[in-house]
């Protein structure tokens, strides 16, 4: 397949809507010869480029993004920096080592982000007060019991919450049961990713709106772009679900397109109806349930659809249709706010694999890749990007070992079977979702 700039389309929507318009940065032109190039300036690529800049302060490092920073998935998620993952299914002591490994990676990512935010005074509404989890229907209520058993067994700090306690905190009677986990942070993701991009080491050159159209493998590796060429000794791929476009982990990772809506800013009286907390985030205990946030600036954000759309965003016309689904879920949760309009809706794409694994390591010939976070890319992507830079540099650490231990991914067939299987994989997330959607 011959790529062009049109294969990396975007729109203005996402959390960047709340920020000043980003000026077009440097666009790569001409021929460049460097020891290191990182493809993708999301959480993974930014962390990787930062660590390379620290490890090689005298080397020229290029960081590329096909779009403006914040227009990709890193600026379109719901802003949960997960420290403790919820693992679906019944609690099993045999799975504890694997689950501990994943949570150590998660926590490493949270720690890295915190240190960078503090060191660079990044204004991104970082709030390390943990997350709420809610269950409204039978399947999710069962998952709540499973999660509580896991948290109790690992002595993870948490608080069990009944319907009344959830109402007092969040202002909704919708959830029958739930809990609060103390670890983890809420963030304005577009603000954070922009802040990270604007505070890279001096020897890292960021080029935006500079998609890679072809990777010519060899030693060195040659990258062909729209207006230039890069010859590099080492290439780090941090493009998540778009890695297949340039020939890597094709048919192992697909893009699931999610949609959500933001309300306008709520009035003081409206905010007073939402319980005791100034801001909060709630994850459904059903994998296909709604993600809900009260943001620091007084909006409610609700995201509750996921579908296979070929790794593309939803059109403006399509977003109008999805907004009806958002509205139904919103009104069920907050009937007291039924007259509050949505200000706008947005879509974003997450990379998922059939068996929920992540990707980390060498792709041969001095090409390295990390990706596939299945919805936990803020923290896990940061940890993977940092570890990838150290691994490619010959380093050894517990974080690298944990990242290398990812289980093998399940292969997906070529198109058109790929489209059928991918659509089924995404739809299966909604089995039994009921009132939690």
Along the chain (437 residues), what's the average pLDDT of each consecutive run of 10 residues? Answer: 84 89 91 98 98 98 96 94 95 94 97 98 97 97 97 96 98 98 97 98 98 96 97 97 91 89 97 95 96 97 93 93 97 98 94 86 95 90 98 97 89 69 74 92
The fold of 5-75+191-251+357-405 is FAD/NAD(P)-binding domain (3.50.50)
- What is the structure's pLDDT at 426? 75
Separation of alpha carbons 66 and 212, rounded Å: 7
CB count, 10 Å around CB of 315? 12
User: Which backbone phi and psi does 306 adopt, to 5 degrees?
Assistant: -145, 135
Hey, is 41 helix, strand or coil? Answer: coil
- Sign of the dihedral through C-alpha 272, 277, 281, 284: negative
Q: Which residues pair with 185 in a beta bridge?
A: 81
Q: How many angstroms separate the first and last alpha carbons of the chain?
A: 37
Q: Where are the beta strands (DSSP E) in 295-431?
A: 300-308, 342-352, 359-364, 367-371
Which letter, b or e, does each residue of 317-343 get, where b requires 16 or more Cβ atoms within 10 Å of its Cβ? Answer: ebbeebbebbbebbeebbeebeebebe
**Going by C-beta distance under 8 Å and a sequence separation of 6 or more, which residues neighbour residue 174?**
134, 136, 332, 333, 435
Separation of alpha carbons 199 and 30, rounded Å: 25
- What is the structure's pLDDT at 417? 66
Alpha carbon of 291 to those of 51, 283, 286: distances in Å?
32, 5, 10
According to DSSP, residue 127 is labeled: B
| Token code pair at residue 390 | 């150290």
Separation of alpha carbons 15 and 27, rounded Å: 23
Pairing type for strands 131-135 and 280-284 reads parallel
Cα dihedral value 42, 238, 292, 117, nearest 10: -40
Domain residues of the chain, as ranges? Answer: 5-75+191-251+357-405
- What is the structure's pLDDT at 414? 67
- Sign of the dihedral through C-alpha 329, 332, 333, 336: positive
């Amino acid at each position: 397949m011959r790529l062009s700039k049109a294969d990396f389309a975007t729109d203005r929507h996402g959390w960047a809507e709340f920020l000043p318009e980003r000026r077009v940065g440097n666009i790569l032109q001409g021929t460049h010869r460097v020891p290191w190039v990182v493809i993708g300036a999301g959480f993974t690529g930014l962390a990787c480029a930062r660590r390379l800049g620290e490890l090689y302060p005298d080397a020229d490092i290029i960081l590329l993004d096909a779009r403006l920073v914040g227009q990709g998935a890193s600026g379109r998620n719901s802003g949960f920096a997960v420290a403790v993952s919820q693992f679906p299914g019944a609690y099993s002591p045999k799975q504890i080592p694997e689950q501990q490994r994943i949570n150590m990676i998660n926590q490493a990512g949270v720690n890295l982000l915190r240190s960078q935010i503090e060191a660079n005074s990044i204004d991104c509404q970082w709030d390390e007060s943990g997350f709420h989890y809610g269950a409204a229907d039978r399947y999710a209520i069962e998952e709540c019991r499973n999660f509580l058993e896991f948290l109790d067994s690992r002595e993870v700090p948490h608080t069990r919450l009944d319907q009344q306690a959830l109402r007092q905190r969040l202002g909704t009677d919708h959830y029958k049961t739930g809990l609060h986990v103390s670890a983890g942070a809420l963030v304005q993701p577009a603000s954070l990713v922009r802040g990270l991009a604007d505070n890279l080491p001096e020897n890292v050159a960021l080029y935006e709106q500079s998609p890679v159209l072809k990777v010519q493998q060899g030693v060195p590796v040659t990258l062909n772009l729209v207006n230039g060429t890069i010859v590099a000794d080492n290439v780090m791929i941090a493009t998540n679900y778009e890695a297949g476009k340039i020939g890597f982990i094709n048919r192992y990772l697909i893009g699931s397109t999610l949609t959500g809506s933001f309300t306008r800013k709520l009035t003081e009286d409206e905010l007073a109806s939402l319980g005791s907390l100034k801001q909060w985030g709630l994850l459904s205990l059903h994998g296909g349930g709604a993600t809900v946030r009260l943001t620091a600036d007084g909006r409610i954000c609700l995201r509750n659809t996921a579908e296979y759309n070929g790794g593309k965003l939803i059109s403006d016309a399509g977003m109008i249709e999805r907004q009806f689904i958002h509205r139904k879920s919103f009104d069920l949760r907050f009937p007291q706010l039924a007259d509050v309009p949505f200000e706008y809706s947005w879509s974003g794409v997450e990379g998922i694999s059939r068996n929920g694994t992540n990707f980390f390591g060498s792709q041969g010939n001095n090409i390295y890749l990390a990706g596939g976070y299945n919805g936990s890319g803020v923290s896990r992507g940061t940890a993977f990007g940092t570890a990838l830079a150290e691994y490619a540099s010959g380093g050894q650490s517990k974080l690298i070992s944990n990242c290398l231990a990812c289980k093998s991914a399940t292969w997906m067939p070529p198109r058109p079977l790929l489209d059928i299987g991918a659509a089924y994989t995404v739809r299966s997330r909604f089995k039994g979702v009921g009132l939690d959607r």
